[in-house]
Amino acid sequence: MLESQLHNIQNETEGMSIEETLSYLASKYPSRVAFSTSFGEEDQVVSDFIFKNDLPIKVFTLDTGRLFKETYDVFYKTTLKYKKNIETFFPKTESVQELMTTKGSHSFYDSVEARKECCGIRKMEPLGRALKDVDIWITGLRAEQSENRHDMGKFQYDSKFDCIKYNPIIDWKYDEMKSFIAKNGIPYNVLHDKGFPSIGCAPCTRAVKEGEDIRSGRWWWEISKKECGLHG
């Protein structure tokens, strides 16, 4: 049913600004629109649009239990600036305990399958709960971030979670994003200034070297599409 509404949404929002589109979606799908943030620069831009305009959109985050201290700092600064709640979803305690007990603390280094198992427990399962009653899933994806995202449009149907995904800044360039953050005084992760363009769990993220792909710092020990499953 939702997939059939994709074309209408695209037509009705044609020419709208980001603020107008977000407001339209919140009005058309009351209490069923949500934005997922991991507190990266892109997500902070989208949070600013939502919070600054006081839009009735749920903002949530996934706390895997292995985030950088700097990420928690941005979380705190964001709630201070906007005075808004950010709903937090944790992995199931029993699943994490079983993984740690049976496979140890660093099993994700063993293989792509083992890493995806960890991502599944710490990210995918909580995301499924977060999106349970959501029709419109808003993201901070940008096409420049990875090869997998080059062909993404502003709207697409996500069959995995049966919702329509809205990517408001998909076509933004890096400099455009940085300028927006500076102009609006938006809190951002200081790791971005230290060679971390993409920030996930601390054990799975390193700084990238000059000339490297911006996703190369994620799961750097493996050769794969560099995705955890959330967006591909």
Q: 65 with 91: CB under 8 angstroms?
A: yes
45 Cβ neighbours under 8 A, 6+ residues apart = 140, 169, 172, 177, 180, 181, 186
121 Cβ neighbours under 8 A, 6+ residues apart = 91, 92, 95, 96, 99
List the structure tokens of 124.
């995918």
Task: Report the side by side order of strands in the sheet with 33-36.
Answer: 87-89, 58-62, 33-36, 136-138, 163-166, 155-158
Cα–Cα distance measured from residue 175 to residue 135, given in angstroms and rounded to the nearest whole number = 31
Task: List, by residue number, the catalytic residues.
Answer: 228
List the structure tokens of 207.
């700084």
Q: Using CB atoms within 10 Å of the CB of residue 183, give its burial: 0 to 12 exposed, 13 to 18 middle, 19+ buried.
A: exposed
173 Cβ neighbours under 8 A, 6+ residues apart = 144
Handedness of CA 181, 166, 71, 143 (dihedral sign): negative
- Residue ranges of E strands in the chain: 33-36, 58-62, 87-89, 136-138, 155-158, 163-166
